[in-house]
Structure 1
Amino acid sequence: MEKITVVGSGYVGLVSGTCFSEIGNRVICCDVDPFKIAMLRKGEIPIYEPGLKELVKKNVDADRLFFTSEIGDAIEASDIIYIAVGTPMGDNGEADMRYVHEVARTIGQHLNSYKIIVNKSTVPVGTGEQVRQIIMENRKNRFVQFDVVSNPEFLREGSAIEDCMNMERAVIGATSDKAAKRIADLHAPFRTRIFQTNLESAEMIKYAANAFLATKISFINGIANVCERVGADVTSVAAGMGLDSRIGAKFLQAGIGYGGSCFPKDTFALSYIAEEAGFDFSLLKSVIAANDEQRLVVVDKLKQALGCLEGKKIGVLGLAFKPNTDDMRYAPSLTIIPELVRLGASVRAYDPIAMQAARNQIAEYYEDFETLEEALEGCDACLILTEWSEIVEMDLARVKQLLTAPIIVDGRNCFSVREMKEREFVYYSVGRPAVTTGSANASAAKTVSL
């Protein structure tokens, strides 16, 4: 059993700490926010992640998982210190390292015995050395030794518990073989593949992996836009591409682009790192630009279906950047909904989980509703931005009754083109043939608006 302190009880820290406790370690999750700690002590989880609340309770009850805002005490009481604080994106794309540096100073001030300092946060190359220097400058006893490790996270929101408990690989970059072995042993119960390298390479692996996945998404969205113009179906194209083992089928789902806490921030940060190193990473810049442009393709499709959007009522389904999370960071809805309002439309919105998080950012642009049906009632069109299971499985016959005309613009390709044609919807998706031969009501609505 290891004694672990995780500094930062946000998404990465809370999930990682909980999973480390689940495999038998004593874990203290700490945070500077006393309100967050108070919530966690009461069994309230500040983020939405399937299965997390139950796992937290299980390990708190087993006296393996603890929460505190006394960060110094938690550091002194543990042998392995994980840094899992945010590295938000600055205006120029650079990762803001103030929180990581602050934690490093605190560790130095409370370094009472040999400890392994592990960076879990996504950080620029060279951060491990920075952390080492800051701890050395702040430690009170220069004879107390420590090692620094980079152990980046690869969690997907909505499936983070599964990703951690059954992780594909653990990347470990360390300043000593002793520290690397100990962190490798910590991961042994996860039965994962261990990849050991130096600090700098481990730090770069996280950025490179996320940037590559973002590139796949922007690429398939570009292919989707070409498919629409030449009569191909991107779903079939992606399936055929995915059969090639060199490419694989993952991250080839066309739609309205990526969002969330990782891909937008990490692509910008890597572009900045490259620029600072003297390399113009034009490919990555194009990936970012393509993703920004892709969000608005559904607005163009609404214009095709309705003509002018002035005075139109649009029912928006899904606000979070992906299903099974309430994360609104860089969600496409944050760009799309204000654009609809700018064009004169009014928006009625529904999301099964992310309503409150969305209100905190764009409440002035839309009216929200407690149910999918309430949001769609009396709307001129339905716009799908997140592929929640509730939305994918919604009763299309009922949807048709609720809308003034059976028009759906689907930014996530939730339904088959054949089914929508059979049901006589006017249906626009991404990278697939549009269905424009809907019922007479839809045709009439479109004619009037034109």
Structure 2
Amino acid sequence: MSERTAEPAGVGVAGAGYVGLTTAACLAHLGHRVTCVDTDAAKVTALRAGQVPIAEPGLPELVEQGLSDGGLAFTTDLAALREPALVFLCLPTPTGDRGAPDLGAFDDALAQLRGGLRPGCVVVIKSTVPVGTADRVADTLGVSVVSNPEFLREGHAVHDFLHPDRVVVGARDETAARAVAGLYAGLDAPLLHTTPASAELAKYASNAFLAVKASYVNELAELCERLGADVVDVVRTMGLDNRIGSAFLSPGPGWGGSCLPKDTRALLHTAGESGLDFSVLADAVAANARQCDRVVAKVRHAVTGSAEGSLAGLRLGVLGVTFKAGTDDVRESPALAVAERLAAEGAQLTAYDPGAQADLRLEHVHLVDDPLLVAKDAAGIVVLTDWPQFRDLNWAQLGQLAEQATVVDARNLLDPGELGQAGFAYWGLGRR
């Protein structure tokens, strides 16, 4: 593909959600003039004041920088997208019927943009959308359309945008492809120019593969327990093979969040619509559902002494409710799935999470702001999110406060030896 250029561009961004706000702030940081449009007036007002509604390291600083130097603006007026040469679509595509993405917000934006873009405008799709969407948008809007999928991890989104593993540009129009590639000038990353269909599928394929890998290691942890092996040693050995790598090889209560569940469902739906039985991915999804049951069974055994013991009336402490460390996101959180199952069996749950928003209200969990309150009179403590801060808690003090010094570490986050010295019985996943 032609070399990227570094000329500043006028950019519009439709949607100030997680992806849209990160995209807008980072492109402004790269020197482009960015206008971000969102229909939520309260959100726009807050953003104009530099108030970022999501917990993402580095994002508030970039928004403040963009506002200060005039490179970033926020508005509710969709007409602001008539002037930029490039318009990014960053609308939510949650799970809809039968696993297919719900494109309601995305299509509403298309309807409002139709006939309202400048001649020669290039529309760039950041939203995760089904294969064929870029071609459909091109037909609808009568402009060149580029698929430029995002690969942003929550808690690392700014870093991932500015230090990407790859930049994917799916386009039929070479001129449009060059224009989008030019936005990323100066970033040290491979640039892949492909077709829109391949770019769209690559996003789903990447997340689905991560889901398969995560389910694999959870199944492996179960096998380690049955055979007397230690999953920590096993995956350390695996990770040193550069064909495998160490990422996504940590057992846990399951995978969740805003991306992997919906993207695996969407890819399974797409495969089914095309007549393919994507059994490897379907089995990974089924294994993920079983993982919640395994963790609950381990908690039951640890605190009652029996796999068939009753949790009714027992007080349990929970460390972590967000779907992973470094975020305040509880969407499809496996930690909450386990907590809800424990509550359904009659356990009384008190939880602490350093990233949870102060106004978060959970139906079956009493959220507190001090980890010591989690341990008070507890029959056991369950670690469900991989916050590194949990390693530094005063576990000896927690053990003194607990009715029963038992910890179920569903993230293999803690050091069993240190927990033993603090007086705890330690239960991990796949550990001897």
TM-score scaled to structure 2, two decimals? 0.95
Show the counterpart of 2:115. 109
Shift of 1:70: 0.4
Matched, 1:79 2:80: no
Whether the 8 Å contact between 1:30 and 1:67 is mirrored in structure 2 is yes
Shift of 1:294: 0.8
Name the counterpart of 2:219.
222
Q: AA paired with 2:27? A: F
Describe the shift of the 1:357–1:113 C-alpha distance in structure 2 as closer, same or farther (beyond 3 A).
farther
Q: Are 1:276 and 2:273 counterparts?
A: yes
Structure 1, 220-229 or 395-404: larger mean CA deviation:
395-404
Question: Which range is displaced more, 258-267 or 182-191?
Answer: 182-191
- Report the secondary structure of 2:330's partner residue: coil
Tell me if 1:287 matches 2:284: yes
Counterpart of 1:447?
Answer: none
2:197 counterpart (197, 200, 204) = 200
Distance in 2 (CA, whole Å) between partners of 1:291 and 1:356 is: 29
Q: Equivalents in 1 of 2:124, 2:311: separation in Å?
A: 52
Counterpart for residue 106 of structure 2: 100
1:45-444, aligned counterparts within 5 Å? 45-71=52-78, 73-136=79-142, 146-307=143-304, 308-356=310-358, 358-359=360-361, 363-433=362-432
Q: Distance in 2 between matches of 1:366 and 1:77?
A: 49
**Paired residue for 2:17?**
10
SS of equivalent to 2:403: coil
Q: How far does residue 402 in structure 1 lie from its aligned partner after superposition?
A: 1.8
Structure 2 stretches lacking a partner, 5+ long:
1-7, 305-309
Deviation at 1:334, TM superposition (A): 2.7
Deviation for aligned residue 1:12: 0.4
Alpha-carbon distance in 2 for matches of 1:262, 1:306: 33
Distance in 2 separating the partners of 1:183 and 1:392: 43
CA drift at 1:54: 1.3
Offset at residue 371 of structure 1 (A)? 1.2
- 1:441 aligns with none
Q: Which amino acid aligns with 1:240?
A: T
**What's 1:30 paired with?**
37
Do the aligned residues in 1 keep the contact of 2:399 with 2:423 (CA within 8 Å)? Answer: no
Structure 2: distance between partners of 1:111 and 1:55: 27
In the alignment, what sits opposite 2:51?
44
Percent of residue pairs bearing the same amino acid type: 40
Q: Secondary structure at the match of 2:34?
A: strand
**1:235-273 deviation per Cα after TM superposition (whole angstroms, max 9, x unaligned):** 110011111111111111111111111111100000000
| Cα 1:211/1:357, change in 2 over 3 Å | farther
> Could you tell me how far 1:353 is from its partner in structure 2?
2.0
Amino acid of the residue matched to residue 353 of structure 1? G
Quote the Cα distance in structure 2 between the aligned partners of 1:251 and 1:67: 36
| Native 8 Å contact 2:39 2:76 kept in 1 | yes
List per-residue Cα deviations over 1:389-428 (Å, max 9, x = no partner): 2212211112112211111011111112333334331111
- Return the alpha-carbon distance in structure 1 between the equivalents of residues 292 and 97 of structure 2: 21
Residue of structure 2 equivalent to 1:444: none
Question: Amino acid of the residue matched to residue 41 of structure 2?
Answer: P
Query: Could you tell me whether the CA contact under 8 Å between 2:84 and 2:118 is conserved in 1?
Result: no
Matched residue count: 420
Deviation (angstroms), 1:355: 4.1
1:175 CA displacement: 2.2
Whether contact under 8 Å (2:14, 2:36) holds in the other structure is yes
**Within 2, Cα distance between the matches of 1:357 and 1:337?**
19
In the TM superposition, residue 122 of structure 1 has moved relative to its aligned partner by 0.6
Alignment deviations for residues 43-76 of structure 1 (CA, whole Å, 9 cap, x no partner): 11111111111111011101001000101x2211
Q: What are the ranges of 5 or more consecutive residues in structure 1 without an aligned counterpart?
A: 137-145, 434-450
Shift of 1:326: 0.7
Closer, same or farther: CA 393–413 of 1 in aligned 2, 3 Å: same
Report how far residue 306 of structure 1 moved.
Answer: 1.9
SS in 1 for 2:206: helix
Instruction: Decide whether aligned partners of structure 1 residues 100 and 357 sit closer, same or farther in structure 2, where only a CA change above 3 A counts.
Output: farther
CA contact 1:326–1:357 (8 Å) conserved in 2: no
CA RMSD of aligned residues (A): 1.3
Distance in 2 between residues matched to 1:112 and 1:355, nearest whole Å: 41
Contact persistence 1:232–1:432 (CA under 8 A): yes
| Matching residue's letter, 2:206 | A
1:169-208 C-alpha deviation (Å, 9 max, x unpaired): 1000012011111111111122221001000000000000
| Mapped contact 2:34–2:73 kept (Cα < 8 A) | yes
Q: Deviations over 1:127-157 (max 9, x none)?
A: 1011112213xxxxxxxxx210000000000
> Distance between the aligned counterparts of 2:193 and 2:397, measured in 1?
55
- SS at 1:398 equivalent: helix
1:107 Cα deviation after fit: 2.1
Q: Distance in 2 between matches of 1:396 and 1:331?
A: 25
- Paired with 2:353 and 2:422, the residues of 1 have a C-alpha distance of 25
Alpha carbons 1:151, 1:202 under 8 Å: kept: yes
Q: Is the 8 A contact 1:8 1:29 kept in 2?
A: yes
Pair 186,353 (structure 1): closer, same or farther in 2 beyond 3 Å = same
Structure 1 residue 357, shift from structure 2 partner: 6.8
The residue matched to 1:251 in structure 2 has which SS? coil
> Counterpart in 2 of 1:439?
none
